[in-house]
Amino acid sequence: VTVPEVSTMYRRWVEQAVAEEWGVEGSPARLAAQIHQESSWNPKARSAVGAEGLAQFMPSTGRWIAGAFPDKLGQFDPWDPQQAALAAAVYDAWLVERNPGTTACDSWAFGLSAYNGGEKRLHQEMQLAERRHLDAGTWFGSVSDQRSRSAAAWRENRGYVRRILRVLEPAYIDAGWSGKAVCS
Protein backbone atom coordinates (compact mmCIF):
# COMPACT_ATOMS: atom_id res chain seq x y z
CA VAL A 1 0.00 0.00 0.00
CA THR A 2 1.34 3.42 -0.95
CA VAL A 3 0.52 6.37 1.26
CA PRO A 4 -0.96 9.03 -1.04
CA GLU A 5 0.94 12.30 -1.33
CA VAL A 6 -2.30 14.23 -0.67
CA SER A 7 -2.24 12.97 2.94
CA THR A 8 0.59 15.41 3.70
CA MET A 9 -1.87 18.31 3.23
CA TYR A 10 -3.84 17.08 6.23
CA ARG A 11 -1.07 15.59 8.36
CA ARG A 12 -0.79 18.53 10.79
CA TRP A 13 -4.54 18.43 11.50
CA VAL A 14 -4.48 14.66 12.03
CA GLU A 15 -1.54 14.99 14.42
CA GLN A 16 -3.26 17.84 16.33
CA ALA A 17 -6.51 15.87 16.61
CA VAL A 18 -4.72 12.78 17.93
CA ALA A 19 -2.68 14.86 20.39
CA GLU A 20 -5.88 16.46 21.73
CA GLU A 21 -7.59 13.11 22.26
CA TRP A 22 -4.76 10.77 23.28
CA GLY A 23 -1.67 12.88 23.91
CA VAL A 24 1.70 11.37 23.10
CA GLU A 25 0.27 7.83 23.34
CA GLY A 26 -1.93 8.42 20.30
CA SER A 27 -1.28 7.15 16.81
CA PRO A 28 -1.59 9.70 14.02
CA ALA A 29 -0.82 6.77 11.69
CA ARG A 30 -4.01 5.00 12.88
CA LEU A 31 -6.25 8.01 12.33
CA ALA A 32 -4.57 8.62 8.96
CA ALA A 33 -5.25 4.98 8.06
CA GLN A 34 -8.91 5.40 8.98
CA ILE A 35 -9.27 8.59 6.93
CA HIS A 36 -7.51 6.86 4.04
CA GLN A 37 -10.05 4.03 4.27
CA GLU A 38 -13.02 6.38 4.70
CA SER A 39 -12.44 8.91 1.92
CA SER A 40 -9.02 8.36 0.34
CA TRP A 41 -8.24 11.86 1.69
CA ASN A 42 -11.02 13.50 -0.35
CA PRO A 43 -12.64 16.22 1.80
CA LYS A 44 -15.50 16.46 -0.71
CA ALA A 45 -16.28 12.73 -0.66
CA ARG A 46 -19.93 11.69 -0.41
CA SER A 47 -20.82 8.01 -0.18
CA ALA A 48 -23.75 6.33 -1.88
CA VAL A 49 -25.55 6.23 1.49
CA GLY A 50 -24.89 9.92 2.27
CA ALA A 51 -21.75 9.91 4.44
CA GLU A 52 -19.90 13.21 4.06
CA GLY A 53 -16.39 14.59 4.02
CA LEU A 54 -12.93 13.39 4.93
CA ALA A 55 -14.13 11.20 7.83
CA GLN A 56 -17.41 10.15 6.16
CA PHE A 57 -19.86 11.13 8.87
CA MET A 58 -23.53 10.44 8.25
CA PRO A 59 -25.45 13.70 8.76
CA SER A 60 -27.27 12.32 11.82
CA THR A 61 -24.00 11.21 13.41
CA GLY A 62 -22.44 14.60 12.63
CA ARG A 63 -25.33 16.38 14.39
CA TRP A 64 -25.18 13.98 17.33
CA ILE A 65 -21.41 14.29 17.85
CA ALA A 66 -21.53 18.10 17.68
CA GLY A 67 -24.21 18.08 20.39
CA ALA A 68 -22.44 15.46 22.50
CA PHE A 69 -19.08 17.28 22.42
CA PRO A 70 -19.90 20.99 21.96
CA ASP A 71 -16.73 22.09 23.78
CA LYS A 72 -14.57 20.23 21.25
CA LEU A 73 -16.62 20.37 18.06
CA GLY A 74 -18.99 23.33 18.32
CA GLN A 75 -20.78 23.77 15.00
CA PHE A 76 -19.27 20.67 13.40
CA ASP A 77 -18.93 20.85 9.63
CA PRO A 78 -18.08 17.45 8.10
CA TRP A 79 -16.87 19.20 4.94
CA ASP A 80 -14.13 21.06 6.86
CA PRO A 81 -11.12 18.68 6.83
CA GLN A 82 -9.66 20.00 10.10
CA GLN A 83 -12.97 19.60 11.90
CA ALA A 84 -13.53 16.19 10.31
CA ALA A 85 -10.15 14.89 11.55
CA LEU A 86 -10.89 16.13 15.08
CA ALA A 87 -14.43 14.72 15.03
CA ALA A 88 -13.13 11.32 13.90
CA ALA A 89 -10.58 11.33 16.73
CA VAL A 90 -13.24 12.34 19.28
CA TYR A 91 -15.69 9.72 18.03
CA ASP A 92 -12.99 7.01 17.94
CA ALA A 93 -11.98 7.81 21.52
CA TRP A 94 -15.61 7.66 22.64
CA LEU A 95 -16.26 4.34 20.85
CA VAL A 96 -13.03 2.70 22.03
CA GLU A 97 -13.74 3.70 25.64
CA ARG A 98 -17.33 2.40 25.47
CA ASN A 99 -16.33 -0.89 23.85
CA PRO A 100 -13.29 -2.21 25.70
CA GLY A 101 -11.74 -5.46 24.54
CA THR A 102 -9.28 -7.88 26.04
CA THR A 103 -6.35 -6.02 24.46
CA ALA A 104 -5.83 -2.57 22.95
CA CYS A 105 -6.04 -4.24 19.54
CA ASP A 106 -9.46 -5.66 20.42
CA SER A 107 -10.68 -2.32 21.79
CA TRP A 108 -9.65 -0.56 18.59
CA ALA A 109 -11.21 -3.27 16.43
CA PHE A 110 -14.48 -2.89 18.37
CA GLY A 111 -14.34 0.90 18.09
CA LEU A 112 -13.65 0.84 14.37
CA SER A 113 -16.34 -1.77 13.76
CA ALA A 114 -18.83 0.45 15.58
CA TYR A 115 -17.65 3.55 13.66
CA ASN A 116 -18.25 1.74 10.39
CA GLY A 117 -21.34 -0.33 11.11
CA GLY A 118 -22.88 0.92 14.34
CA GLU A 119 -22.62 -0.05 17.98
CA LYS A 120 -25.92 -1.94 17.88
CA ARG A 121 -24.58 -4.48 15.38
CA LEU A 122 -21.26 -4.74 17.22
CA HIS A 123 -23.05 -5.52 20.49
CA GLN A 124 -25.27 -8.10 18.80
CA GLU A 125 -22.17 -9.82 17.44
CA MET A 126 -20.47 -9.70 20.85
CA GLN A 127 -23.58 -11.37 22.33
CA LEU A 128 -23.50 -14.03 19.60
CA ALA A 129 -19.88 -14.80 20.48
CA GLU A 130 -20.79 -15.08 24.15
CA ARG A 131 -23.73 -17.39 23.43
CA ARG A 132 -21.38 -19.60 21.41
CA HIS A 133 -18.95 -19.74 24.35
CA LEU A 134 -16.35 -17.61 22.57
CA ASP A 135 -14.46 -14.69 24.08
CA ALA A 136 -16.69 -11.64 23.57
CA GLY A 137 -13.70 -9.42 24.44
CA THR A 138 -11.63 -10.67 21.52
CA TRP A 139 -12.16 -9.34 18.01
CA PHE A 140 -10.04 -11.38 15.58
CA GLY A 141 -11.12 -15.02 15.53
CA SER A 142 -14.05 -14.51 17.89
CA VAL A 143 -16.43 -11.55 17.56
CA SER A 144 -15.17 -10.92 14.02
CA ASP A 145 -16.55 -14.33 12.99
CA GLN A 146 -20.10 -13.53 14.19
CA ARG A 147 -22.69 -12.00 11.88
CA SER A 148 -25.81 -9.96 12.70
CA ARG A 149 -25.99 -8.02 9.44
CA SER A 150 -26.28 -8.76 5.73
CA ALA A 151 -23.41 -10.72 4.20
CA ALA A 152 -22.28 -7.68 2.19
CA ALA A 153 -22.38 -5.34 5.21
CA TRP A 154 -20.57 -7.96 7.32
CA ARG A 155 -17.78 -8.39 4.74
CA GLU A 156 -17.42 -4.61 4.36
CA ASN A 157 -17.22 -4.11 8.14
CA ARG A 158 -14.67 -6.86 8.66
CA GLY A 159 -12.57 -5.63 5.75
CA TYR A 160 -12.73 -2.09 7.14
CA VAL A 161 -11.33 -3.10 10.54
CA ARG A 162 -8.72 -5.49 9.14
CA ARG A 163 -7.47 -3.04 6.49
CA ILE A 164 -7.09 -0.11 8.90
CA LEU A 165 -5.38 -2.05 11.70
CA ARG A 166 -3.32 -4.60 9.80
CA VAL A 167 -2.56 -2.96 6.44
CA LEU A 168 -2.94 0.82 6.46
CA GLU A 169 -1.72 1.74 9.95
CA PRO A 170 1.57 -0.16 9.42
CA ALA A 171 1.91 1.44 5.96
CA TYR A 172 1.54 4.94 7.44
CA ILE A 173 4.07 4.11 10.16
CA ASP A 174 6.48 2.85 7.47
CA ALA A 175 5.91 6.12 5.60
CA GLY A 176 7.07 8.10 8.64
CA TRP A 177 3.81 8.92 10.43
CA SER A 178 4.16 8.56 14.19
CA GLY A 179 2.43 5.86 16.15
CA LYS A 180 2.79 2.25 17.11
CA ALA A 181 0.70 -0.40 15.37
CA VAL A 182 -1.91 -1.48 17.89
CA CYS A 183 -2.39 -4.92 16.30
CA SER A 184 1.18 -5.82 15.41
Q: Tell me the one-letter amino acid at 25.
A: E
Q: Enumerate residues 6+ apart whose C-beta is below 8 A from 172.
A: 3, 7, 28, 29, 30, 32, 33, 36, 179
Residue 4's nearest CA partner among 46, 52, 37 is 37
Q: What is the pLDDT of residue 91?
A: 98
Residues 130-153 have pLDDT tens digits of 999 999 999 999 999 999 999 999
Q: What is the pLDDT of residue 177?
A: 97
Q: Is the pTM of this model over 0.85?
A: yes
Q: What is the C-alpha to C-alpha distance for residues 173 and 62, in angstroms, rounded to an integer? A: 29
Q: What is the C-alpha to C-alpha distance for residues 37 and 173, in angstroms, rounded to an integer? A: 15
